[in-house]
Amino acid sequence: MASIFPKVPGETLKLTIDWSTWLPSATSINASSWSADTGITVVSNTCTTTTSVIVVSGGDAYTKYALVNTVNTNGGVIAIRTIYVQGVASKTE
């Protein structure tokens, strides 16, 4: 099941996918890209040899947004994972 993270529309949220448990020994991430549903803004994205990071802003309360991460490894493998941001009116919801 995909992860769902709450997000208040006015905040900027940093999310990380840790690929280290999935990556075979001596394999690392060479490149990472993200795509996002319309309505949420990708502020930035970076990666290390084992993680992929996205920073998002915007969005509306009560709307769920998909963030899709595609990584390429030094072993030639392409992997794709989707996480979700759920807009909420406040963090107490």
Q: Which residues contact 91 (CB under 8 A, 6 or more apart)?
A: 6, 8
Residues 90, 76: Cα–Cα separation, whole Å: 42
**What number of CA atoms fall less than 13 Å from residue 4's CA on the CB side?**
8
Question: By CB neighbour count within 10 A (0-12 exposed, 13-18 middle, 19+ buried), where does 32 fall?
Answer: buried
Pick the CATH number of 4-87 from 2.60.40.2310, 1.20.120.790, 2.30.140.10, 3.30.70.330: 2.60.40.2310
| pLDDT above 70: residue 6 | yes
| pLDDT above 70: residue 14 | yes
pTM for the structure as a whole: 0.92
Q: Where are the domains of the chain?
A: 4-87
User: What is the pLDDT at residue 35?
Assistant: 97
Give the model confidence (pLDDT) of 39-92 as tens digits: 999 999 999 999 999 999 999 999 999 999 999 999 999 999 999 999 999 977
User: What is the pLDDT at residue 24?
Assistant: 86
